[in-house]
């Protein structure tokens, strides 16, 4: 962890952490002057919400990753998806029993409980074990005891479910200082509502591994005379809808069914009640490949699978994103039905929604993002990791309760310039600092290498001229371009910073029409002192930075020019006067020497001399261009179409 544990949100009672106690995974986060951040470990930020008990049920054997990995070995005493049972009656929970590997029984007051061996365990006790693991993780990261937490719950949770969550926190040794709705937490993570002068209506689209929720929120900004400690912005859930059995698992099942059917047809393996008659290991392999394909196709256009079926049999298949999209269409339609119901219940139209926030790992699927954007006619917020955004919002709420004001650096003006990396490691600034937000700007670029089929876009923040001196925000690729000579592609890159400080970057190659985009939160993780330091450094190094940037650009442009002139020299070898050709070759050799020296040490080169030499070559080559055109015309006359 790279944060300074001494600067976290603390009081005399210690830090307040934010916890997303999820159905599939749980996350813990904290807050300091740089904003909310996840408390991470080598095992990763996500703690699987899975607990394994001993055969008698009297002790806990594993929590988190190990419990999930070995769930197949101990199905009847490995408890997962316990969130579904929190605060519910045994009768209400009966519909979940077919999806669970353990036994649900009725306890006191008709509540749902879990039988493990001879012991009856409450859902609160299981959740408490998950919370204890998160508490341990937070204490290890912060180096201090953690006794207080903000915990998130779905907006549809009733009083009994919320109280059960509080009870779980108490059993884990945590004071639950606030229960926060998950959609509210997601909005807080983006800073939506902070400093706004007018009400906003937000939709939070939460599509996880097993469940789907859509919540419509009305955010009312504080009155000027409101001195409430919570910052006074009022978040009201207008409506919520969803499906407790709609999620990424369904995608895995669809892909499993596709692969299973094709394997059975190709190798004449019988199907028994639509389930493959294969060994458990092969079935597990197909499940894992199904999930892997889903993940791959969220970033790539195709995914290849090769499955060893034993006895010298191998199944190979390439699945395209278009094929997956066709499978997913009815699945996404189900989610949009819930969106329509939520809008109807809130008496709103899709056009009334100002912002859409994407939550849950399944919202990484490109088709989901596209269909949701089309449904609400607004680009969804995807800058923050959908698996982590709720925990980050819980940490933001914790900071409010601690009395610490969140410093939203991008609320009024853009404090640091935003740009992309260009050839040679230079930075082309698209939006410059101190512009008012929202702000929009675009610039056109091209390639410096022949036949590129993918262009890397490296997004940077800072005032210096070189990549190494700026802060990296994100990298994404515009792929699938047709091969073209260097300098021919026309890549238009647009930056848009909205009023909430979210940067959207889009890129389109105009000749092919290929597009790509992403979102980031540019100021996240920077304090005001760090912004001021970066500004000061940019002034201190301004002259040498500009000189270096100029030389880097000269190298890139000169290399393209020299490459073209060399090609023409080869083509026109018999048409050029020897003295003229020798003059061009001498000028090229001189520039080659400058480029070599500049690449070794840019300070060894005089940029004015470099520019003059390049300009002289360009002017000298004009005659060769004319000869080339004349030769092409003669060739066309001799070989008419």
pLDDT of 638 reads: 63
Q: Are residues 431 and 282 in the same domain?
A: no
pLDDT for 408 beyond 50 = no
> Which of 81-90, 101-110, 390-399, 406-415 comes out lowest in average pLDDT?
406-415
Q: Are residues 122 and 271 in the same domain?
A: no
Q: Kindly indicate the confidence band of residue 139, based on its pLDDT and cuts at 50, 70 and 90.
A: very high
Q: Are residues 28 and 115 in the same domain?
A: yes
- 3 state DSSP class of 471: strand
Q: Kindly indicate the confidence band of residue 276, based on its pLDDT and cuts at 50, 70 and 90.
A: very low
CA distance to 458, 485, 575, per residue, from 632 (Å) = 40, 19, 12
pLDDT of 412 reads: 45
pLDDT for 275 beyond 50 = no
pLDDT of 527 reads: 63
CA distance to 53, 314, 391, 614, per residue, from 129 (Å) = 11, 43, 18, 69
In percent, how much of the chain has pLDDT > 70?
87
Q: Kindly indicate the confidence band of residue 279, based on its pLDDT and cuts at 50, 70 and 90.
A: low
Listed residues 523, 540, 557: the one ending a domain: 540
Count structural domains, the chain: 4
**Local structure of residue 235 (DSSP, 8 states):** E
CA distance to 90, 119, 354, 639, per residue, from 374 (Å) = 40, 51, 14, 52
Q: Kindly indicate the confidence band of residue 528, based on its pLDDT and cuts at 50, 70 and 90.
A: low
Whether the Cβ atoms of residue 394 and residue 180 lie closer than 8 Å to each other: yes
Q: Are residues 29 and 155 in the same domain?
A: yes
Cβ density class 499-528: b for 16+ within 10 Å, e for less: bbbbbbbbbbbeeeebebbbbbbbbbbbbe
360 belongs to a structural domain: no
CATH of the domain at 310: 3.90.640.10
CA distance 298 to 530: 35
Whether the Cβ atoms of residue 381 and residue 502 lie closer than 8 Å to each other: yes
State the residue range of the domain holding 571: 543-638
Whether the Cβ atoms of residue 215 and residue 240 lie closer than 8 Å to each other: yes
* Cβ atoms within 10 Å, residue 537: 15
0.75 exceeded by pTM: no
CATH of the domain at 624: 1.20.1270
599 belongs to a structural domain: yes
Q: Are residues 557 and 506 in the same domain?
A: no
Query: What does the pLDDT average to over 287-303?
Result: 87
Token pair for residue 537? 């450094």
Q: Are residues 530 and 548 in the same domain?
A: no
378 belongs to a structural domain: no
* Residues acting as catalytic residues: 20, 83, 182, 206
Q: Kindly indicate the confidence band of residue 10, based on its pLDDT and cuts at 50, 70 and 90.
A: very low
CA distance 191 to 195: 9
Q: Are residues 517 and 575 in the same domain?
A: no
212 belongs to a structural domain: no
H/E run at residue 20: strand 16-20
Whether the Cβ atoms of residue 150 and residue 178 lie closer than 8 Å to each other: yes
Q: Are residues 529 and 552 in the same domain?
A: no
Query: What does the pLDDT average to over 309-331?
Result: 89
489 belongs to a structural domain: yes
Q: Are residues 138 and 157 in the same domain?
A: yes
Detail the DSSP E strand segments found in 383-511: 418-422, 426-431, 439-445, 454-461, 471-479, 491-497, 503-509
Q: Are residues 622 and 485 in the same domain?
A: no
- 3 state DSSP class of 461: strand
254 belongs to a structural domain: yes
Listed residues 488, 513, 540: the one ending a domain: 540
- 3 state DSSP class of 593: helix
CA distance 62 to 423: 50
pLDDT of 635 reads: 66
CATH of the domain at 59: 3.30.420.40
CA distance 173 to 147: 7
Average pLDDT, the chain: 83
Listed residues 325, 353, 377: the one ending a domain: 325
Detail the DSSP E strand segments found in 170-211: 175-181, 200-207
483 belongs to a structural domain: yes
Whether the Cβ atoms of residue 593 and residue 536 lie closer than 8 Å to each other: no
CATH of the domain at 510: 2.60.34.10
Q: Are residues 37 and 96 in the same domain?
A: yes
59 belongs to a structural domain: yes
Which distant-in-sequence residues (6+ apart) come within 8 Å of 80 by Cβ? 24, 48, 49, 50, 68, 71, 100, 101
pLDDT of 278 reads: 54
**Local structure of residue 52 (DSSP, 8 states):** E
Q: Kindly indicate the confidence band of residue 8, based on its pLDDT and cuts at 50, 70 and 90.
A: very low
Q: Are residues 145 and 268 in the same domain?
A: no
């Amino acid at each position: 962890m790279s944060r300074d544990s001494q600067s976290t949100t603390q009081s005399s009672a210690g830090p307040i952490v934010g916890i997303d106690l999820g159905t599939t995974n749980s996350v813990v986060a904290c807050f300091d002057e740089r904003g909310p951040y996840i408390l991470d470990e080598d095992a990763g930020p996500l703690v699987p919400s899975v607990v394994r008990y001993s055969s008698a049920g009297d002790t806990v054997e594993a929590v988190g990753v190990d419990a999930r990995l070995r769930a197949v070995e101990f199905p009847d005493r490995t408890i997962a998806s316990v969130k579904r049972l929190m605060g519910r009656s045994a009768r209400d929970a009966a519909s979940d029993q077919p999806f669970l590997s353990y036994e649900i029984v009725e306890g006191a007051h008709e509540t749902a409980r879990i039988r493990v061996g001879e012991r009856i365990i409450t859902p609160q006790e299981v959740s408490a074990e998950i919370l204890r693991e998160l508490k341990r993780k937070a204490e290890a990261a912060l180096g201090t005891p953690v006794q207080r937490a903000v915990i998130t719950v779905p907006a549809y949770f009733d009083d009994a479910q919320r109280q059960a969550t509080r009870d779980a926190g108490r059993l884990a040794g945590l004071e639950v200082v606030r229960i926060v709705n998950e959609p509210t937490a997601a909005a807080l993570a983006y800073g939506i509502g902070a400093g706004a002068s007018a009400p906003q209506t937000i939709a939070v689209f939460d599509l996880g591994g097993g469940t789907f929720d859509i919540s419509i929120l009305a955010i009312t900004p504080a009155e000027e005379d409101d001195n409430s400690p919570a910052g006074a912005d009022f978040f009201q859930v207008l409506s919520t809808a969803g499906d407790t059995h709609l999620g990424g698992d369904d995608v895995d099942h669809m892909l499993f069914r596709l692969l299973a059917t094709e394997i059975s047809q190709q190798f004449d393996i019988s199907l028994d009640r639509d389930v493959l008659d294969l060994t458990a290991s092969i079935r597990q392999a197909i499940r894992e490949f199904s999930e892997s394909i889903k993940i791959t196709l969220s970033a790539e256009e195709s995914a290849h699978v090769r499955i060893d079926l034993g006895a010298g049999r191998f199944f190979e298949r390439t699945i395209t994103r278009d094929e997956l999209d066709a499978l997913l269409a009815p699945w996404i339609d189900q989610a949009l039905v819930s969106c329509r119901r939520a809008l109807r219940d809130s008496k709103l139209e899709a056009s009334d929604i100002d912002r859409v926030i994407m939550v849950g790992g399944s919202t990484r699927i490109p088709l989901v993002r596209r269909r949701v954007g089309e449904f609400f006619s607004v680009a969804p917020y995807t800058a923050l990791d959908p698996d982590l955004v709720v925990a980050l919002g819980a940490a933001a709420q914790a900071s409010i309760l601690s009395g610490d004001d969140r410093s939203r650096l991008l609320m009024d003006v853009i404090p640091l310039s935003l740009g992309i990396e260009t050839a040679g490691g230079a930075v082309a600034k698209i939006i410059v600092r101190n512009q008012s937000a929202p702000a929009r700007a675009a610039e056109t670029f091209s390639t410096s290498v022949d036949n590129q089929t993918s262009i890397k876009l490296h997004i940077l923040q800072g005032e210096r001229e070189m990549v190494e001196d700026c802060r990296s925000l994100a990298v994404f690729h515009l792929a699938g371009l047709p091969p073209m000579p260097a300098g021919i592609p026309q890549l238009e890159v647009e930056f848009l910073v909205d009023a909430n400080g979210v940067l959207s970057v889009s890129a389109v190659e105009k000749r092919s029409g290929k597009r790509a985009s992403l979102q980031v939160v540019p100021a996240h993780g920077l304090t005001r002192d760090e912004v001021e330091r970066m500004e000061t450094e940019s002034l201190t190094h301004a002259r040498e930075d500009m000189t270096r940037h100029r030389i880097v650009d000269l190298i890139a442009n000169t290399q393209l020019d020299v490459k073209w002139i060399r090609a023409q020299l080869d083509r026109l070898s018999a048409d050029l006067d020897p003295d003229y050709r020798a003059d061009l070759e001498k000028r090229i050799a001189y520039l080659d020497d400058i480029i070599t020296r500049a690449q070794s040490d840019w300070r060894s080169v005089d940029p004015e001399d470099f520019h003059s030499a390049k300009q002289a070559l360009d002017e000298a080559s004009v005659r060769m261009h004319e000869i080339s055109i004349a030769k092409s015309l003669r060739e066309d006359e001799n070989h008419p179409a």
